[in-house]
Amino acid sequence: MIPLFYAQKRRNSIIDVEWNTGYLSPEGDSFMDSLIDHFIHFLAVEKGLSPNTLESYQRDMVAFTSYLQEQGITQIEASTRTHIIEYLLVLREKGRATATLSRNMASIRAFYQFLVRDKYIDKDPSIHLETPKIEKRLPKVLSIEEVERLLESPPVHHPAGLRDKAMLELLYATGIRVSELVNLDTADVNLDMGFVKCMGKGSKERIIPLGSVAIQMVQHYLQAGRPKLVKGSGDTSLFLNHLGNQITRQGFWKIIKRYALKANIRTEITPHTLRHSFATHLLENGADLRSVQEMLGHADISTTQIYTHVTRTRIKDIYAKTHPRA
């Protein structure tokens, strides 16, 4: 057995992942790597999954096959239902959340289905294994007053501040995902027509309207902020960092946390907080569920329906706090 800091470079450049998996056996390393490689290629080409989803699948399978080899399993066909159950128990003992266990189970099941499909193995040991049930948590949202304080936090007297305000305004105006926000190009925003075009999960394109405030702030950023950030890099990304390169999700995460602190917002902030707030505020003000579904890019309307529970909960809270006989 040899210690390994896993730095897998996909041969077809679909995805690069660094992952510390502990130990792998020299004799099984290349075989397991090859299976994962083919699996990720299948998901990318046949299923059209996003880079973020591919990364999750790859990370899960690297960890799982590493565990198998720690148990002396160097050939995938030697793995059994018991190995899968024991692996999930190990994750649970490490304190992994139910959502993480469920995602790992989904990854393992998809991996074995692929192996049977392409005749690497004859039987699927993951069949009939129950997926851990996830307790549906209501997304945390900001009040309209908190959103206003957050959006007013960035200073607009320098390029980075203009960029930050434009990003926050655009995110709240459209409800797009943070990954979609940072991947926007300048050509994806049509300020004259008032819409933004983004590529969502499964490479599905959607068009979302922009409000007047977001249009004004993006225009201001394009005129006075972005030209000073581009630094001749030629990067066509809409939002750039101080090096003139596309801003990252991690970069945005630091930005929104900084402004939440500045705005004295005590609600826990996540990269999706403005997306959740966008959907909730639309529904509270009479938007229909189907329109919100389309703007969010949800494939299934049941995913959007979680926000109706949020609005009902908020209405109950408001009633309890304001009705004299509550």
Q: Which residues are registered as beta bridge partners of 16?
A: 9
> Long-range contacts: 206-215, Cβ < 8 Å, 24+?
206/294, 206/295, 206/297, 208/174, 208/175, 208/176, 208/295, 209/174, 210/170, 210/173, 210/174, 211/173, 213/169, 213/173, 214/166, 214/169, 214/170, 214/172, 214/173, 214/174, 215/191
Q: Which residues contact 23 (CB under 8 A, 6 or more apart)?
A: 1, 2, 3, 4, 66, 69, 70
Largest CA distance in the chain: 73
Decide the pairing of beta strands 189-190 and 2-9: unpaired
Q: Which residues are catalytic?
A: 177, 201, 272, 275, 298, 307
Tracing tokens 């909730």 back to the chain, one arrives at 280
Q: What is the DSSP string of 168-185?
A: HHHHHHH---HHHHHT-B
